[in-house]
């Protein structure tokens, strides 16, 4: 039980860090988009969200 709480807390922290990274990387992503490049930030955030949601069940 305590290990599940620790895992859920770690997944939540990772999810929050990933969201912050996505927000901070937005100017870089917009600049890259102008050059025709795409960054996989959305996939990173979605993956962290799935990990958090599967751990909170």
Q: Considering only CA atoms, which of 35, 45, 3 is closest in space to residue 53? A: 45
Report pLDDT for 57.
62
Q: What are the distances in angstroms from CA 12 to CA 4, 30, 56?
A: 12, 27, 9
Q: Which residues of the chain have pLDDT under 50?
A: none
Report pLDDT for 40.
82
- What is the SS3 string spanning the chain? CHHHHHHHHHHHHHHHHHHHHHHHCHHHHHHHHHCCCCCCHHHHHHHHHHHHHHHCC
């Amino acid at each position: 039980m305590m290990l599940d709480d620790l895992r859920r807390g770690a997944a939540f922290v990772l999810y929050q860090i990933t969201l912050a990274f996505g927000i901070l990387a937005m100017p870089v992503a917009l600049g890259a988009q102008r050059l025709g490049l795409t960054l996989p930030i959305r996939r990173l955030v979605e993956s962290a969200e799935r990990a958090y949601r599967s751990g909170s069940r």
